Structure 1
Amino acid sequence: MADRIKKFFQKKKVDAKFKMAGPGHKLSESTLSSNSSDTSKKAAPAKRVGLSEESKVAADAALARLQQKRENPSFNTSLAAIQAQVKKELENERANARTSESTSKSTHTEQEPREVEEDVPRNFAASGVYFKCPLISNDILPRDEWKKNIKTFLYEQLEEERGLTACLMIQSCNSNREKVDTCVETLCKYLENIVTHPEEDKFQKIRMSNRVFTERVQPIEGSMELLLAAGFTQMKQPNPEGADEDYLVFQKENVPSVESLVGLIDALRTAEPIQLELDRNLQVLLPSQAAHKVQLPPSFYALSPEEIKREQQLRTEAIERSQMLRTKAMREKDELREMRKYKFAIIRVRFPDGILLQGTFSVYERYNEVHEFVRENLEHDLPFVLNMPTGHKLIPEEDANKTLIDLRLVPAIILTFAWHSSVAEQIHNSPNKDVYLKPEVMVLVQEV
């Protein structure tokens, strides 16, 4: 059944490619006739209308902006220009640090507290969390948009493959997994009763006002489509009291055979939700950008920011009172609990030239995913290590299967890149020793 589902999606992707290819042509079609028709179409070109005054003004303004950009380029993505920009920013950072340090030493007067300005989106480390769904398309979208797209996609397939599509709808269009499992078991029981007792009338119909049906089956999206695919038809029938009532009645002529329901039962039990893949939302940042983009968007939290603040306020006083009495193990347990409030993490890797590579990860992903993310963006595929701010080296052989929570890399961290000692000397003597990221990655450096 898993192969059948896989082929189902492969066929849909092929169909989509054919639609994008445009109208086809018969091999026997005369090229002369097609050429003549093309010629006739081209024979009467549409007359071009002169630009309006508004269009001329807009065009002149665009040309002026383009000319200004050429004469005064504000940003150059060439490697030399980027390196110069990074060097300048690092020098400014060091100068600012020295200035602030001397100012703090010489100033002893109390300063009035300033109101904290509200965070603005441009200070977010990422604009949000985005996903891919290779089974359906190559789009990169937020989770909520993908949910809508998946639902739309599945409803479009009902006419062609109602049974399998209904199974996927049940799994993918409902969020409560416990209720989904209960619905699946109930549907399987309905169908198994028909297969096992094909001649017993009581198993051939479902009373739609029945409590089991109304509580376990009807609320689940896709369940009605599944029953229709299994040969049921909704109709009025007299209930035990003699009044007409809605029933779902199984009709053999609606299915190839009663035994064909076995395949539908198998599909119900083996179908899984259509999975989304987390997009890394790769970014390349200059030091000044990394310093300002520090806020996490709300989508990174398992709880809302308001809930986190409220909970923190309630617990701060109690934690401070008991801090002296708590063991290291207890404090680590609390730290892990705090980390689990986050669903995603921002990992930044600082290279010796000052450039930072940023990616988005699930907090439950393992370190080998981070290591691979860095490796696939390097210009030279050579061994390297990533160092934590504490100086601890993350070693793939030891840390590969540890989650980001286990390694305390949540919710955001800056790791320092260094070539492995086995190749450090070789790199140092190379003319390209200052090249770290691929050119196609470096062009992603954002304008300041």
Structure 2
Amino acid sequence: MADKIKKFFMKKKVDAKFKMAGKGHKLADTTSTTPSHSSSASDRMPMKRSGLSEESKVAAEAALARLQSKRENPAFNTSLAAVQAQVRKELEAEQAASSKESPPPVVQKTTEEVDVPRNMAVSGVYFKCPLISNDILPRDEWKKNIKTFLYEQLESERSLTACLIIYSCNSNREKVDLCVDTLCKYLENLILHPDEEKFKKIRMSNRVFTDRVLPIEGSLDLLQGAGFIQQKLPNPDGVEEEYLVFDDANYSVDALPAIIDALRSAEPIQLELDRNLQVLLPSQAAAKVQLPASFYTMSPEELKREQQLRSEAIEKSQMLRTKAMREKDELREMKKYKFAIIRVRFPDGILLQGTFSVYERYNEIHDFVEQNLENSGLPFVLNTPTGHKLIPEEDGSKTLIDLRLVPATILTFAWHSSVAEEISRSPNKDVYLKPEVMILVKEL
């Protein structure tokens, strides 16, 4: 059983690696000249800030060659020209308006604001679970789907499935751990004392059983898979009660160590955050500024309480405070959020948008941008609104909270100085995103 669980989750890890490698890319392919950026910061070869590594130079040269030799696609170029014309028109209007008033900033949702779907940066937070299906759904729907999926497997693989139900269908981890310890103790007693009748029976009215085991979904299925059957027996006072009795006629004690191992090594089925990829025109980005409630760690009641504390914040802002005090308050403010919207603005005015966990690393943002670039082999940098250049070698392992990118930030895209001049001479210099990404641009 333990091996089956390990294989089950090993498949998840392998699938995730292939997913991160990019569409159509094989991990075993040694002929590709485009390096993968899906590995962690610790796995990457260090690169000096003064220039590119030899490997990166080779990749950049290959990408530049592809850029120069690329044949024009009439259908795409026609669409691209229309988009660029629309962007130029909006940028000119935005520039004219900026002389009169400041552009609308990204604002945070309060309890007084009314949800207007078209003003939302995103409609919600969505997840994937490749182990079950290719659907992209909210977390609550996935919880139902995971539960349904596991119970469908229960008859054919009761012990393994029960382990997964215990970990995946119960939210309180402390109670789950206590239940697992108790279940393992029941099974270990049978292994150590196979001939003692008292260890072959579990009284279901026993306080330990009712407090630790019974409330946890999947626990009874686990015991049934281990060989226990439910039946009525007289208790020491002669009154009939419900017991779980080990059926040693049909089940062997020798199989119990594998079940214990499986129970100890199981993990909950994990969900993967979907980026909810969007490509926006400048006017769309300016209009879609509200964040849905699913981005917050607090309930509406807690948000209301926070709103009441704003008057204190105003008073506090008028006080002389140290930098450490201001940073502490800023960090506290950011911890209200579970997710963040990251927008990357390209020189042509188009914005690429994705949803991230506030505890994800900058490397994830860098990889997200690279996966959507038409020339993914070329080095680039992203600049924060304060002008800080985000460099994977220095900032790759920092979280979005560490980098102050929460709850919503617009990063500016620029080619690395080592290739910027050559790209500027290319006829396709204004092409940034892949054609299949550009078609996501929607009219207002």
Q: Shorter chain as normaliser: what TM range? A: 0.7 to 0.9
Counterpart pick for 2:441 among 421, 442, 445? 445
Cα distance, 1:9 vs structure 2: 7.6
Q: Does residue 119 of structure 2 align to residue 118 of structure 1?
A: no
Distance 2:114 2:229 in 1: 58
1:11–1:334 distance in 2 versus 1, CA, 3 Å: closer
User: Tell me, what secondary structure is at the counterpart of 1:254?
Assistant: coil
Distance 2:382 2:432 in 1: 14
Distance 2:399 2:123 in 1: 24
The letter of the residue matching 2:5 is I
Does structure 2 conserve the Cα–Cα contact (< 8 Å) formed by 1:77 and 1:445?
Answer: no
Cα distance, 1:322 vs structure 2: 7.1
The letter of the residue matching 1:5 is I
Distance 1:332 1:11 in 2: 42
The letter of the residue matching 2:230 is Q
Distance 1:300 1:423 in 2: 38
Distance 1:379 1:11 in 2: 30
Cα distance, 1:378 vs structure 2: 0.3
Does structure 2 conserve the Cα–Cα contact (< 8 Å) formed by 1:77 and 1:443?
Answer: no
Q: Does residue 332 of structure 2 align to residue 337 of structure 1?
A: yes
The letter of the residue matching 1:122 is R
User: Tell me, what secondary structure is at the counterpart of 1:241?
Assistant: coil
Does structure 2 conserve the Cα–Cα contact (< 8 Å) formed by 1:124 and 1:295?
Answer: yes
Aligned pairs (5 A) from 1:288-437: 288-314=283-309, 316-317=311-312, 320-321=315-316, 324-381=319-376, 382-437=378-433
The letter of the residue matching 1:80 is A
- For structure 2, list consecutive stretches of 5 or more residues without a partner in the other structure: 13-76, 103-111
How big is the alpha-carbon RMSD for the aligned residues of Structure 1 and Structure 2?
2.0
Distance 1:81 1:170 in 2: 54
Distance 2:152 2:118 in 1: 38
Cα distance, 1:314 vs structure 2: 2.4
Distance 1:123 1:341 in 2: 21
What TM-score comes out, normalization by structure 1 length?
0.79
Q: Does residue 160 of structure 2 align to residue 159 of structure 1?
A: no
1:286–1:303 distance in 2 versus 1, CA, 3 Å: same
- For structure 1, list consecutive stretches of 5 or more residues without a partner in the other structure: 13-75, 102-115
User: Tell me, what secondary structure is at the counterpart of 2:412?
Assistant: strand
User: Tell me, what secondary structure is at the counterpart of 1:80?
Assistant: helix
Q: Deviations over 1:56-85 (max 9, x none)?
A: xxxxxxxxxxxxxxxxxxxx9810000000
Distance 2:323 2:304 in 1: 24
1:267–1:375 distance in 2 versus 1, CA, 3 Å: same
What TM-score comes out, normalization by structure 2 length?
0.80
1:235–1:304 distance in 2 versus 1, CA, 3 Å: same
1:9–1:158 distance in 2 versus 1, CA, 3 Å: farther
Aligned pairs (5 A) from 1:46-85: 78-85=79-86
Higher mean C-alpha deviation, range 297-306 or range 163-172? 297-306
Distance 2:422 2:386 in 1: 27
Equivalent residue number for residue 89 of structure 1: 90
Counterpart pick for 2:204 among 185, 189, 208? 208
Q: Deviations over 1:157-216 (max 9, x none)?
A: 011000000000000000000000000000000000000100111111111001100010
Does structure 1 conserve the Cα–Cα contact (< 8 Å) formed by 2:380 and 2:414?
Answer: yes
Equivalent residue number for residue 179 of structure 2: 183
Equivalent residue number for residue 4 of structure 1: 4
The letter of the residue matching 1:437 is L
Cα distance, 1:447 vs structure 2: 1.8
Equivalent residue number for residue 67 of structure 1: none
1:157–1:378 distance in 2 versus 1, CA, 3 Å: same
Distance 2:305 2:78 in 1: 44
Aligned pairs (5 A) from 1:179-328: 179-255=175-251, 257-314=252-309, 316-317=311-312, 320-321=315-316, 324-328=319-323
Pick the structure with greater CA Rg. Answer: 1
Distance 1:347 1:314 in 2: 28
User: Tell me, what secondary structure is at the counterpart of 1:245?
Assistant: strand
Percent of aligned positions that are identical: 80
Higher mean C-alpha deviation, range 322-331 or range 404-413? 322-331
The letter of the residue matching 2:353 is Q
The letter of the residue matching 1:233 is I
Cα distance, 1:117 vs structure 2: 7.1
Aligned pairs (5 A) from 1:38-53: none
Cα distance, 1:441 vs structure 2: 0.3
User: Tell me, what secondary structure is at the counterpart of 1:139?
Assistant: strand
